[in-house]
Amino acid sequence: MVEIKNKRIIVFASGTGTNFINLYNNVINGKIILLVSNNPNCAAVKFAIQNKIDISIINTYRFPIEKNKNKQYEIVLNSYKPDLILLAGFMKKIPENIIALYNNKIINIHPSLLPKFGGKGFYGIKVHEAVIKSGDSFTGVTIHFVNGKYDKGLVIMQEHVLVDKKDNAITLSKKVLKKEYELYLKVVNLFCK
Ligand code: GAR
């Protein structure tokens, strides 16, 4: 049998990191070799520490000069030689030097059906609050390539989630997250295959 080499995956996360944890536990033919975060105190970092996953903290506190911060991303990523970079609740913009170097290798998950409820300022619970406010009867999940503009890269896969009349932003976020785990894993497993 032909042995498939594990793809080298780097995850970027800023918060609870449940997508990161789900991918870490379930990805096939891929290995998460590094977590990059701007937030040293987030749950994603705690999980990485507990599971002995390498961590790199890159933020303006450590790198107050933007040019140096952007260069640091480059130094770190180049040293790990990733096949794939996954954004999973990463709340900072990926700098242009990284987008240019890793073109079509950076993927993001967004908790709505882009282009709806996307762009600057639409992240996490804010997205679900906007969906509830809109009165839409469905929302969803989008997996897309990352380019220089917030939530504008080429869509890879999308999936609907129904909005119930009784839903609020919290109940909706839970339903959408469940779908996120499924869809992100599906896309990453396909990539690794
Ligand atoms: C997820 O819902 C993800 O789609 C969203 O942040 C949440 C992170 O949850 N990302 C964005 O809003 C990006 N614009 P997690 O940390 O538990 O995976």
Catalytic residue (one of 110, 128, 144, 160): 110
Predicted model pTM: 0.96
Residue 111 CA: nearest ligand 1 atom is 4
Most ligand 1 atoms within 8 A of CB, residue of 26, 94, 109 to mutate = 109
Give the tens place of pLDDT for each residue, 13-23: 999 999 999 99
Give the tens place of pLDDT for each residue, 20-42: 999 999 999 999 999 999 999 99
Helices (H) and strands (E) in the chain, counts: 6, 7
Question: Residue 5 has what pLDDT?
Answer: 86
Integer-rounded Cα radius of gyration of the chain: 17
144 is catalytic: no
Question: Residue 118 has what pLDDT?
Answer: 96
The three-class DSSP label of residue 189 is helix
110 lines ligand 1 (CB under 6 A): yes
Residue nearest to atom 8 of ligand 1 (CA): 89
Question: Residue 43 has what pLDDT?
Answer: 98
**Mean pLDDT for the stretch of residues 125-129:** 97
Model confidence at 1, pLDDT cuts 50, 70, 90, reads: low
- Where do runs of H (alpha helix) occur along the chain? 18-26, 43-50, 66-80, 96-101, 125-134, 169-192
